[in-house]
Chain A
Amino acid sequence: MPRLEPRAEASQAMRFAAPLVALLVTAGITACLMFGFGRDPVDGMRVFFVVPLESARGLAEIGLKMTPLLLCALGLALCYRANIWNIGAEGQLLAGSIAATGMALSIGPGNSHVAGLLVVIAGAAGGALWAGLTALLRDRWNANEILVSLMLTYVAQLMVLYLVNGPWRDPAGMNFPVTRMFDAAASVGAIVPPYRLNWGFVVALVAAAFGWVFLFRSRIGYRLQVSGNAPLAARFAGFSEREGIWVSLLICGTLAGLAGAFEVAGPLGQLTAQVSTGYGFAAIIVAWLGRLTPLGCVLASFVMSLIVIGGELSQSRLGLPGAITMVLQGVLLLALLSADTFVNYRIRWR
């Protein structure tokens, strides 16, 4: 009989093998699903995992979809390493999109590159402010950051609704809950028009590089992780717990706020109630799939984007149901959680 036996030490090899195993399992189940729907599994897998990457347009769209996921996931990975359970990146993203919109609408039509920059900075500040509220409540009154950050997400959602239905509603918009379209100057430009991929993607990649340096090559990153792993040891070493709370939340808020700004000032060009499709929540999965490392987050956000876009293509090309996207995201997550068992356990045959 096979038995699970605790390992003496967590397996580093399994920690990095687990996501790959999860991916393989997901790919295998995808193939089975295709077969079950009466499609050629090879052809189906090609539509899912190859076709989205075949054209420059497809690659640009993957990068565009990755941007908010990656930005949020980087911030969340930092928070989780510091043992700060921020699950409100969605709210921070929305706060960023609100602040960016406020800036974009108040800048008059012009032709200055500064305008776009101001919009992005406003977004970052908005996200940081929103995360700062969570930090303040945790730091000052020891409020549980899981609950506070989640609740503040709902507050941010309602603020977006209020603004697009009320003060910021496009006067020429037939009362539909959207703002007017931003002026070109207040937008984030595409890197290679006509593709929609904008400079936000570059910012996200740079943030990932900085994230790596911060986590693994800086004193402050080291302090945060020690506080997260061993709070008592950290206290003994004189590391500040408050520093961990504030630094991780503010960085996460800034990154999520940037993500919000790049959405409204990028592909959307306006604030709507549907600015985010739950990027802040999906980024929790991305951060974990990426093993809470910056490079891992880049890869994981790529995989998640591929699943979404591949799912669309398998609908329009193969006539598969749209639920396949959610099924595969769920399978990926469950497979990863299952595979993670083998980080701390091994199988013994008796």
Chain B
Amino acid sequence: MFSKRGVIFAAIAAAGLVGLAACGKKEEPVKPAVKAETPKPAPLKIAFAYVGPVGDGGWTFAHDNGRKAAIKEFGDRIQTSFVENVPESADAERVIRDMASQGNKLVFGTTFGYMEPMLKVAGEFKEVRFEHATGFKSADNMRAYDVRAYEGAYVAGVIAGKMTKSNTLGFVASIPIPEVVRNINAFTLGAQSVNPKVKTKVVWVNKWFDPGKEAEAATALINGGADILLQNTDSSAVLQTAEKMGKYAFGWDSDMTAYGPKAHLASSIINWGPYYKKAIKDVLDGTWTVEANWWGMKQGAIDVVSISDVVPAEVKKLAEDKKAEIREGKFSIWTGPLTDNTGKQVLAKDTTGDDKFVASIMFFVKGVEGKVPSGK
């Protein structure tokens, strides 16, 4: 009886293990507070809750680089720790509460799904400051921060529009929220600015971090005729798939050149360092207030880097010029006339969408195929 069950169970268990085997990378230990000769103020304890592993090569990796940049800046004035792979489930509240109860005075939560749990914990720990990435709710001691990743997506689009031969771009999309939808639009608008014939195909994976699904979606897009891919997911799987299938793709969130040197056209990166330094300085200086920070190329939070040598010099220059224009505020991506892909005009000629408009984009621009899941 048990042996037969054992065989079946072993098979199921093996399958389960494959599913469990997400990667995690080794990390240097959290250094205990250095005991100085002369009494110094105790370091500010700071904790980060990450949704993925720090070794994802993308989103979480970028946050962790931001953490390291802060360590470099403040040295032993701060003491940081992090917990990776914290799911956006009931588990998040436990992890965040534990961080607050362990004497951390500043807690960063780096995914949308931590919003409600952070709010609850923020209500209990009034003396702790909470920073929530990509959300929209705040409290007396909790504020939201985000970056304008769409600026990088637009510049990537400029390169893609010039480099595509099939005039079909592919986008591996995560979760249908405005942040992702506007990145798809920005990528398409950037491409259309140099090549009006471009259209974009989209596949949703409904996950932030799932390399298997991301690779499947990338394969489907390439088989559907897309020859250049961008993604709004957290891993390097899309770039790796493009490398394997002999197509081009971009790095996202972090510089991903190493994951697909031949396929890699450029990386649209998030540099969280400047914001993390600001937030920590706010707390150290006692100037922390509830405000919303939405940083882009102007503040050095977004950049497009490591543009490949297969990109012709004049296209490179085009991309660099566009970056400069965005940085200097001379160019706005969301400028009318802008029509959605059903032909409805969403921005009239010579009007520019403000932040409220940008924050609520739930339509596809002309040239993107399909419709936003359950969007209007």
Contact = CB atoms under 8 A, between A and B. Distances in A.
A80 B6 CA distance: 11
Interface string A276-295: 11100100110010000000
B41 interface: no
A101 B116 CA distance: 17
B303 interface: no
A322 interface: yes
B362 interface: yes
A223 interface: no
Nearest to B24: A323
Most chain B CB atoms below 10 A, which of A174, A267, A326, A337: A174
A174 B102 CA distance: 32
B83 A316 contact: yes
A313 interface: yes
A340 B26 contact: no
Provide the main secondary structure of the chain A interface: helix
Nearest to B90: A267
Interface string A8-23: 0010000100000000
Interface stretch (B91-99, B238-246, B282-290): B91-99
B16 interface: yes
A190 to B, nearest CB: 12
A165 B373 contact: yes
A143 interface: no
Contacts of B359: 174
Contact of A284 (B16, B97, B362): B16
B176 A177 contact: yes
Contacts of A10: 1-2
Given A323-B22, A343-B2, A37 B8 contact: no
A319 B10 CA distance: 33
B16 A276 contact: no
A333 B268 CA distance: 41
Contacts of A106: none
A218 interface: no
A281 B19 contact: yes
Interface of B: 1-3, 5-6, 8-10, 12-13, 16-17, 19-30, 47, 53-54, 81-91, 93-95, 97-99, 101-102, 112-113, 116, 124, 136, 175-178, 206, 359-360, 362, 373-375
17 contacts: A80-B5, A175-B362, A177-B176, A177-B177, A263-B89, A268-B90, A274-B87, A309-B94, A312-B83, A312-B86, A312-B95, A316-B95, A316-B102, A317-B81, A321-B26, A322-B84, A323-B53
